[in-house]
Amino acid sequence: MSGKQKMRNRTYRLQTETRSQFINIDRFVEQAIGESAVRDGICLVFVPHTTAAVTINENADPDVLRDLCRACDRLIPSDLEFRHREGNSDAHFKAGLFGSSVTIPVENGRPVLGTWQSIYFCEFDGPRQRTLTIRVIKG
């Protein structure tokens, strides 16, 4: 791989399976950092969709992720008086609240995450074929 290629965005594909779902993407982030050959810097994980997001949360108890999904649905019910004809305005709103990117420090070629942290792709209007863009910046 040339030096120029090393600095480019990496794109990953994933298939979601239900309407609302949090999918662990740590392996994509570790792979992108490894291939970038950046030892120290930051890593941007970006979701190019408007009804999906990316977030960092607990990796130990899967009940936490189920609770997050349910709390989202309780907080933003899909039957709010939305006008958007596709009927998925709740998904657009959830995506806005969680956000389209996370940025993580990189040290010694590894993401610097807390003990209980993992990175999750947040599906709010699945099942769909989705993509993910990861860029690692040296510095």
Site for its own copies, rule CB under 8 A: 7-9, 40-42, 44, 46-50, 55-58, 61, 63-64, 66-68, 70-71, 74-76, 80-86, 89-90, 92-93, 95-105, 107, 112-117, 133, 135, 137-139
Q: Measure the CA–CA gap between 128 and 15, rounded to whole angstroms.
A: 6
- Min separation Cβ 17 and its own copies, Å: 20
- Min separation Cβ 121 and its own copies, Å: 13
Sign of CA dihedral 104, 105, 106, 111: negative
Distance set, CA 34 to CA 55, 84, 107, 119, 139 (Å): 21, 41, 11, 16, 16
- Min separation Cβ 88 and its own copies, Å: 9
Looking at beta carbons only, is 105 or 127 nearer to its own copies? 105
